[in-house]
Amino acid sequence: MFYEILSKLLSESLLSLYPVFVKNIGLPLTLQTWSRCFSYALISGFFIDYPFVYRALTSSSGILLALTTIAHIYTSYRGFELLESGVAYSLFYVYPILILLIAHKQIHPIILLALFGVFLLVSDEKFNVMNVIKSPEGFIMILLAALTEAAIYFLVRDIKTTNNWNHVFISYFLGAILFSAYFFANSFNLSASKLVPKLGDFSKNLSSRLSFSLGINSVIGLFGYLLRFFAITRLDTYLYASLSYFGIVMAFIYGIFINGETVNLQKMIGALLIVLTNLVIIV
C-alpha cells in the first residue's frame, strides 16, 4: 500500500506543475496539446505490450479512453482559460466526488472538508462567482473537464493490465495522430507567425519553446501520468479520490516559489485542511 500511495502523491506533485508550465511557456494551446500527446505516445511506445495494446485500441474501452482524453485536454484548457482560476479550481475539484458518486461509494463528510479547503486555497479578494454567469461556456467546459477526469479513472480500471505504459499509449495515441495530421496538413499554408500570437520576437523562438515543451511533457507530464495510472489500477477508489486533493496543495506551493504568489492565513488554512483530510483517510 505504501508504494501505491506514494505513486499517487508523486503523480499529483508532478502534474500540478502543469498550470505553472502552461502559464509561462508562451505557446498556443494547440501546440501544447500536440507536444503533450506526441511525446507521451512516442516514449510509451517503447515499453508497451503490442499485442495487448492492439486489442485494447480496438475495444470499446480503449476507443472511449482515447476520445475522453482528447476531450479532457480541450475542456480543461478551455475552462481554465475562460474562468477566473479560483472559480475554475473550485469547480474542477469536484471530480474526486464524482468518482465516488459513480462508484456508488458513500461520501464521508471529511472529503467535503477537503473541497472547502480547495475553495479557501484558490479564492482571494477577486473571487467572484458571478464570473460563472458571465462565462457559461467556461462553466460548462470546466464541469466537462471534471467529468472526463472521473471517466478516465473508470476507463483505465476497465482496461486490465499491470503494464501502465499501455494505459499511457492507449490514452494519447489517437490524439498524437490527429494533432500531427492537423499540423502536417496545414504546414504549407500556416507560417509560424500565424500559428502563434504576435509577441514581439516570440516567433523567432518558436522552435526552442516547442522543444522545451516537448522536454517538459516527456519528463514531468509523462511520468506523472504513468504514476497516476499505476495508482488508479491499485488503490481503493475512496483513497484514490481523497488523495487527489494533494495536487492543489502542491500547485499552491509551486505558485509561491515559481510565480512569487502571496501567502495568507486563509490559504494556509485551506492547505492544512486538505493535508489533514488526506492524513485522516490514509491512517
Q: pLDDT tens digits, residue range 47-90? A: 999 999 999 999 999 999 999 999 999 898 888 878 776 677 77
Identify the band that residue 200 occupies on the pLDDT scale cut at 50, 70 and 90.
very low
According to the model, what pLDDT value does residue 199 have?
A: 43
Spatial contact of 199 and 85, defined as CB atoms under 8 Å apart:
no
Smallest Cα–Cα separation from 12: which of 226, 256, 274, 244?
A: 244
- Quote the percentage of the chain above a pLDDT of 90: 42
Sorted by sequence, the CB contacts under 8 Å of residue 143 that are 6+ apart come out as 79, 91, 94
Long-range Cβ contacts of 55-64 (<8 Å, 24+ apart): 56/159, 56/161, 56/166, 56/170, 57/170, 57/173, 59/159, 61/155, 61/158, 61/159, 62/159, 62/170, 64/151, 64/155
Dump pLDDT digits (tens) for 17-46. 876 676 667 777 778 888 889 999 999 999
Identify the band that residue 154 occupies on the pLDDT scale cut at 50, 70 and 90.
very high
According to the model, what pLDDT value does residue 109 have?
A: 83
Average pLDDT over the chain, rounded to an integer: 84
Dump pLDDT digits (tens) for 85-137. 667 777 888 999 999 999 999 888 888 888 888 888 877 655 555 555 567 88
Identify the band that residue 1 occupies on the pLDDT scale cut at 50, 70 and 90.
confident
